[in-house]
Amino acid sequence: MAGKASVTRAGGSVSDVRVAVIGAGFGGVAAASYLTRNGFVNFRVFERASGAGGVWHQNTYPGAEVDTFSDWYSYKFKAHDWPKPHSPQPVLEAYINEAIDDLGMRGKFEFNSDVVRVAWNDARRTYAVELADGRSGEFNVVVSAVGLFNTPNYPKWSEGISFRGPAFHASRWEHEHDLRGKRVAVVGAGSTGAQIVTAIAPEVGHLFVFQRDPTWVLQKNDEWYSTEERRSRRNRYVYQWGRLRHAYAEQRRFFSGELFLAGSKKNLAESEAAQAYIERALGDAPDLKEAVTPAHPFFAKRNIKADGYYETLRRHNVTFVRSEVVDTSQDAVIDASGNSYEVDVIIMATGYQAADYLHGIDVIGRSGLSLHEYWESVGGPEAFLGMTVPRFPNFYMLYGPNTNIGQIVFDLETQSRYLVRDLKRMRRSGARALEVRETANRLYNSWLQSRLSRTIWVGTKNYHKSTTGKLVVPFPRASIQYWAMTRLFRTIAHKAV
């Protein structure tokens, strides 16, 4: 991207609309795919990493795999010969790249391109998109597809760390370190920590697992598909049936919102199933069983889906520490009780700054309004249907505030279709910009927060909240209900500006 691009005028052809997409994970590729298949070919996808895949490009730690059925955690327009029900990271990264190449979009992607500023020009009705390396360009529409899990959450003790050995965040895995025979500390016992612990325990000398708070664990019951199963699943009807079956089960699970209410019949039933798994795996190890049993309701924090995690904690070379790390010395980690554990390597499985939307990107709307300042004025990130914000015309977010629903790839495709319908509306009407109405945004977020205020997420420490305590990540219903809302309210909520 050199210099400035041409500006689309009202009445131009569909290919004239110039679109910038930020991020090349599942969201960015979904947006690019729907743009391409609907004739909007004048777009660029900017990705700060060296390749496509988003979290599946960045997270290369041992044991990394999806915790949703791959049949359902995939694009509707692209089936795949998955090797197992929950596919590992390399397969998912390859799948996303195949989607890019299937539609001949590779030339639209610019890697190692970190967008740092997006600024609306009231007079020209366009956005100036600025990159960290000084390049800039002019676009009619900007789509943020940076996702939730792109900014690692480093613990405070890691600042100015005195530890002399390797110490790194799980999402920035340093493959040059041989862990065989080493004393390794895994700090964090969420989904990432559970996958890493299960994968590396057989090869390390000794493994220390530090847990701040326990969370519920569910079994995947995962096995590699046999040759016959894979052959059968290549039949598109068999494949689509599996996809629909998983979709139906998930929508039924979330539809009423009962699962998100403490003490409800559905929440208690799932909690009891998770408790039964603890009993089966650790029933004869009462201290460990008590340590991993959460006090919070089921689903109040992100649940872990893993096979073998509890069993791994019982290994002779694994020490489970029911305390968080608060400091380090040159050769050890120190927990909250003051105990010191000598280790050779520290792995921080401490999650992401999920509630800090658009971290590192300065978005400027009409009259010089900063999006981060706007969000600060309303107590935390919010958007109409999680996608559009008043006074920020032609700016869309995929996987934006309160769109962590259940099946994210289905939701990303829903949002991509929403984007394309708006672009088609602009073309038909001759409008150069669309913006969500203040009233629509206010009513929607008022309804949303009223529903969220009754849920299990309110009273639990989790990544769903902004610094003010506002719930900014979850959506309290099923994906199919969100899809219906994008169909019903789009036209009346947006206005030409």
Measure the CA–CA gap between 484 and 434, rounded to whole angstroms: 21
Measure the CA–CA gap between 311 and 285, rounded to whole angstroms: 11
**203 with 263, same domain?**
yes
**375 with 478, same domain?**
yes
Measure the CA–CA gap between 310 and 323, rounded to whole angstroms: 17
User: What one-character DSSP code corresponds to residue 260?
Assistant: G
pLDDT of residue 491: 81
pLDDT of residue 15: 59
**196 with 276, same domain?**
yes
**332 with 216, same domain?**
yes
Domain count, the chain: 2
Does residue 91 fall inside a structural domain?
Answer: yes
Q: Torsion over CA of 420, 242, 477 and 411, rounded to 10 degrees? A: -20
> What one-character-per-residue DSSP string does 286-311 give?
HHHHHHH--SSPTTSSPPEE-SSHHH
Whether the Cβ atoms of residue 47 and residue 97 lie closer than 8 Å to each other: no
Q: Amino acid letter at 353?
A: Q
pLDDT of residue 14: 56
Does residue 230 fall inside a structural domain?
Answer: no
pLDDT of residue 246: 87
Q: Amino acid letter at 433?
A: A
What percentage of the chain exceeds 70 in pLDDT?
97
Whether the Cβ atoms of residue 222 and residue 195 lie closer than 8 Å to each other: no
Measure the CA–CA gap between 432 and 114, rounded to whole angstroms: 27
Q: Which of 348, 371, 390 is the last residue of a domain?
A: 348
pLDDT in tens, 259-299: 999 999 999 999 999 999 999 999 999 999 999 999 999 99
Q: What is the pTM of this model?
A: 0.94
Q: Which of 321, 348, 375 is the last residue of a domain?
A: 348
pLDDT in tens, 392-421: 999 999 999 999 987 899 999 999 999 999
In CATH, what number is assigned to the domain containing residue 30? 3.50.50.60
Does residue 7 fall inside a structural domain?
Answer: no
Q: Read off φ and ψ for residue 496, nearest 5 degrees.
A: -80, 140
pLDDT of residue 35: 98
pLDDT in tens, 221-245: 899 999 999 999 999 888 888 888 8
pLDDT of residue 211: 97
The CA-atom distances, in angstroms, between 417 and each of 300, 389, 396, 457, 477 are 31, 18, 12, 30, 20
Whether the Cβ atoms of residue 31 and residue 398 lie closer than 8 Å to each other: yes
Q: How confident is the model at residue 8 (pLDDT cuts 50, 70, 90)?
A: very low
Does residue 8 fall inside a structural domain?
Answer: no
Question: Parallel, antiparallel, or unpaired: how do β-strands 395-397 and 206-210 relate?
Answer: unpaired
**142 with 164, same domain?**
no
pLDDT in tens, 458-471: 999 999 999 999 99
pLDDT of residue 4: 39
**180 with 264, same domain?**
yes
Mean pLDDT of 22-27: 98
**369 with 492, same domain?**
yes
Q: Which of 282, 314, 348 is the last residue of a domain?
A: 348
Question: Domain containing 215: what range?
Answer: 156-223+235-348
**51 with 166, same domain?**
no
The CA-atom distances, in angstroms, between 473 and each of 230, 287, 402, 410, 483 are 36, 34, 4, 17, 17
Whether the Cβ atoms of residue 293 and residue 278 lie closer than 8 Å to each other: yes
**135 with 36, same domain?**
yes
Helix (H) or strand (E) holding 321: strand 318-321
pLDDT of residue 1: 58
**250 with 120, same domain?**
no
Tokens of residue 276, six digits = 């039964």
**477 with 443, same domain?**
yes
Q: Tell me: pLDDT of 12 over 60.
A: no
**267 with 385, same domain?**
no
Tokens of residue 438, six digits = 């203040």
Q: Torsion over CA of 480, 151, 362 and 23, rounded to 10 degrees? A: -60
